[in-house]
Amino acid sequence: MSPSTTHHPLSTILVTGGAGYIGSHTVILLIEAGYDVVVFDNFCNSSRESIKRVEKIVGKPISVIEGDIRNRNDLRLAFNTYAVDTVIHFAGLKAVGESVEQPLRYYDNNVYGTVALCEVMQEAGCKSIIFSSSATVYGDPATTPITEDFPTSATNPYGRSKLFIEEILRDLYISDHDWKVVLLRYFNPVGAHPSGTIGEDPNGIPNNLMPFITQTAVGKLSCLSVFGDDYDTHDGTGVRDYIHVMDLAAGHVKALEKLPLFHEVMTINLGTGTGYSVLDMVKAFEKASGKEVPYCIAPRRAGDIAKCYADPSYAKKVLDWKASKDIEEMCEDSWRWQSNNPNGYTA
């Protein structure tokens, strides 16, 4: 796509954080659906290599602006260069433990960054945003499955940054009903593009379960610590709603399609509706990969909850979207990515 000219009947989407894990997978589906895409990323937690690989998958170059969402001039460059209709806003820091140690950095990057983004969007007359929220905003839910009207709370600065941003975007809509706002609350994304060429590439030792499992299976880590086996769940280990990243990506394309029809802020769970325990995941992964995952039972991790899984029926109703990939495919695709790229994007 050449700057300032949109040759396609569909619109131009600015994808902040488009080089990251969920963003890169979403960019593929957006391009396949016919949208013009501009990636805006400062590469603080991703690499240009992911974009190169996405270009290979879609068979065409991708417009990229290297910039920071906290820098209004970087943002203005994006809006002045391209006729952006909608922003899909993935950019943010996401490590819970780090957010406890560096709260100001998290509020600056995530909250202030989103405020700056919305200000420049407003300046440019672009008033449509799809935001990456998280199931973490449900805190420790009283029951499961979780519907969107459950009370929200946060136990750490990362979760609080998501809650604050949700409220800021709701206030923005109250101030000006021309805004279209969709808040997507993701459950636990796992898996990778079926090509095995892009996937999750965490820095250092992974915090999340699936990359820890795959790095153990590939021999980079020696043993998985299962955080607690005395929860009130079917086998005592924590239960989560793991969702294939391609399903999650598809949810964004649906949200984009439906956006013009929405006349209120939409808050939508993206999950499968099924909960699996840590040990369920280990077993499923061993079956899909043929690799053993050595594990030991360790103490509970501070801040963890027993069970968290979605009621995904609202997403079905308003987005006509439903997750379609099962735990086997999640494990197979995670493994294909990890085994083909033992060091992620680093050669």
Residues near ligand UDP (CB under 6 A) are 188, 207-209, 212, 224-227, 238, 240, 278, 301, 304
Q: Which is nearer to ligand NAD, 232 or 329 (CB)?
A: 329
Per partner kind, with CB cut-offs from 5 to 8 A, the member of ligand UDP, ligand NAD, none near residue 217 is none
Taking the C-alpha atoms of residue 32 and residue 72, their distance in angstroms, rounded to an integer, is: 30
Q: Is 173 in the site for ligand NAD (CB under 6 A)?
A: no
How deeply is 103 buried, as exposed, middle or buried, from its count of CB atoms within 10 A (0-12, 13-18, 19+)? middle
The whole-angstrom distance between residue 318's C-alpha and the CA centroid of its chain comes to 20
Per partner kind, with CB cut-offs from 5 to 8 A, the member of ligand UDP, ligand NAD, none near residue 166 is none
Q: Which is nearer to ligand NAD, 95 or 265 (CB)?
A: 95
Q: Which is nearer to ligand UDP, 96 or 130 (CB)?
A: 96
Q: Which is nearer to ligand UDP, 11 or 208 (CB)?
A: 208
Tokens 């995670």 -> residue? 334
107 part of the active site? no
Q: Is 114 in the site for ligand NAD (CB under 6 A)?
A: no
User: From residue 332, how far is each of 192, 193, 273, 282, 297 by CA, in Å?
Assistant: 9, 10, 20, 12, 25
Catalytic residue, chosen from 158, 231, 242, 309, is 158
Tokens matching residue 294: 């050595």
Which residue stretch of 86-94, 236-244, 256-264, 337-345 sits at the interface with ligand NAD (rule: CB under 6 A)?
86-94
Q: Mask 13-42, x = binds ligand NAD (CB under 6 A)? A: ---xx-xxxxx-----------------xx
Tokens matching residue 36: 């013009």
Taking the C-alpha atoms of residue 308 and residue 208, their distance in angstroms, rounded to an integer, is: 15
**Ramachandran assignment for 320, one of left (phi > 0), alpha (psi -120 to 50 degrees), beta (any other):** left
* Residue of 317, 333, 314 whose CA lies nearest to 325: 333
CB neighbours of 90 closer than 8 A, spacing ≥ 6? Answer: 15, 16, 17, 18, 20, 22, 23, 26, 132
Q: Is 298 in the site for ligand NAD (CB under 6 A)?
A: no
Taking the C-alpha atoms of residue 217 and residue 290, their distance in angstroms, rounded to an integer, is: 9
Per partner kind, with CB cut-offs from 5 to 8 A, the member of ligand NAD, ligand UDP, none near residue 285 is none
Per partner kind, with CB cut-offs from 5 to 8 A, the member of ligand UDP, ligand NAD, none near residue 304 is ligand UDP
Q: Which is nearer to ligand NAD, 100 or 297 (CB)?
A: 100
Residues that bind ligand NAD (CB under 6 A): 16-17, 19-23, 41-46, 68-70, 90-94, 109, 113, 132, 134, 186, 188-189
Residues with catalytic roles: 158
